[in-house]
Amino acid sequence: MKFLPALIAIIVLVLPLVTQTASAQPVYKWRLAMSWPEGTPMLHNAAQRFADNVRKMSAGRMNIAIDAPGKHKAPLGIFDMVRSGSYEMGHTSSYYYKGKDPATTFFTTTPFGMNPTEMNAWYYYGGGLALLNKVYAKHNIVAFPGGNTHIQMGGWFRKEINSLKDLNGLKMRIPGHAGEVVEKVGMKPTSIPPGELYTALERGTIDAVEWIGPANDEKMGFHKIAPYYYTGWHEPGAELHVFVNKKKFDTLPEDLKTIIAVAAKETSLDMLSESFYRNTLAWEKMQKEGKVKIRTFPKDVLDAFKKANDELLTEFAAKSPEAKEVIESQKTFLAKARVWTKITDEDYLKLR
């Protein structure tokens, strides 16, 4: 016990140094604007999970407060708010900003493109992440993949589609690039706010609607009025993104930069798992209720979608050298990846 006074003396001397070091580290109180309404299954969860993990991994050195569109009023304006620095961070999806820069479009998904496994391989090992940041650096944004919906369903239709001519003049809620694809084959894509979709479908203002997958679609109630549920082609694994204002990101210490990158990656992979899990349960429930008729689009419809998509991608590639680089990078990787997917996933799924 004779060492006790010496030990106490050391603690008394060293303790202030430790606390001083800890308190000398700045605490970052950042704000994140998300595109999703408060409480949206999976999507809001993903933003919250990212913020919580950053706070825990940084031992409270970075606290991120999340604002939903109810507060910031600009669900599709995350790009501008993060670029300008009015929010340090955002949780959104790259394809909302094709009007700002066509090269941003296909970082979310490409019709007939990569599935989530192929997409992750492209992002994390096939140059996708570097390309994402080459495009976004011009806009003062650092971007990370930040959540994946898994393969989305092709949508709810009031009437069965037996051939391409059944699509003629059909009004469907289907936004973005896929909307342009269906327009090219004679449909009328419309953009209606989520809160008004059920009524629009019920009253026949629209004939069809695509949303996400069973877990989110079930809550919207579409299956009660449009029983034909088509399998997907247009969003084969839509990726969400974490945006960070680049000037502010560049001032962070290296460990916080890494924490943000790791938390975003974890969120991306976690949301893919959560989406798969919740869709599995929601689809089981829908099947038990017996009101949903699952269908795949006929071959002439899929051929027409594919042709229109290929033409639009060529047009898109002509809009900017960066858009061309993204499209070609994905295409080149997918050509190799799909050969492998076919002899692994596809062959495995054929086993009985």
Contacts with Ca ion by CB under 5 A lie at 152
User: Closer CB to Ca ion, residue 42 or residue 252?
Assistant: 42
Kindly state the smallest distance separating residue 213's Cβ from Ca ion, in Å: 9
- The residue type of 223 is H
Kindly state the smallest distance separating residue 211's Cβ from Ca ion, in Å: 6
Q: Cβ(226)–Cβ(158) under 8 Å? A: yes
Element (H, E) at 223: none
Kindly state the smallest distance separating residue 130's Cβ from Ca ion, in Å: 27
Kindly state the smallest distance separating residue 111's Cβ from Ca ion, in Å: 11
Strand duo 171-173 + 188-190: pairing: parallel
Kindly state the smallest distance separating residue 339's Cβ from Ca ion, in Å: 28
Count other C-beta atoms under 10 Å from residue 85's C-beta.
12
User: Closer CB to Ca ion, residue 150 or residue 265?
Assistant: 150
Q: Cβ(197)–Cβ(211) under 8 Å? A: yes
User: Closer CB to Ca ion, residue 110 or residue 152?
Assistant: 152
- 3 state DSSP class of 13: helix
φ, ψ at 262 (rounded to 5°): -70, -40
The span from the CA of 35 to the CA of 38, in Å, is 9
Kindly state the smallest distance separating residue 189's Cβ from Ca ion, in Å: 12
User: Closer CB to Ca ion, residue 53 or residue 152?
Assistant: 152
* Residue positions counted in the chain: 352
User: Closer CB to Ca ion, residue 126 or residue 155?
Assistant: 155
Q: At which residue do the structure tokens 């992750």 appear?
A: 120
Q: At which residue do the structure tokens 């940041």 appear?
A: 133
Q: Which 8-state DSSP code applies to residue 70?
A: H
Q: At which residue do the structure tokens 């027409």 appear?
A: 304
- Nearest residue to Ca ion, scored by beta-carbon proximity: 152
Element (H, E) at 106: none
User: Closer CB to Ca ion, residue 240 or residue 264?
Assistant: 240
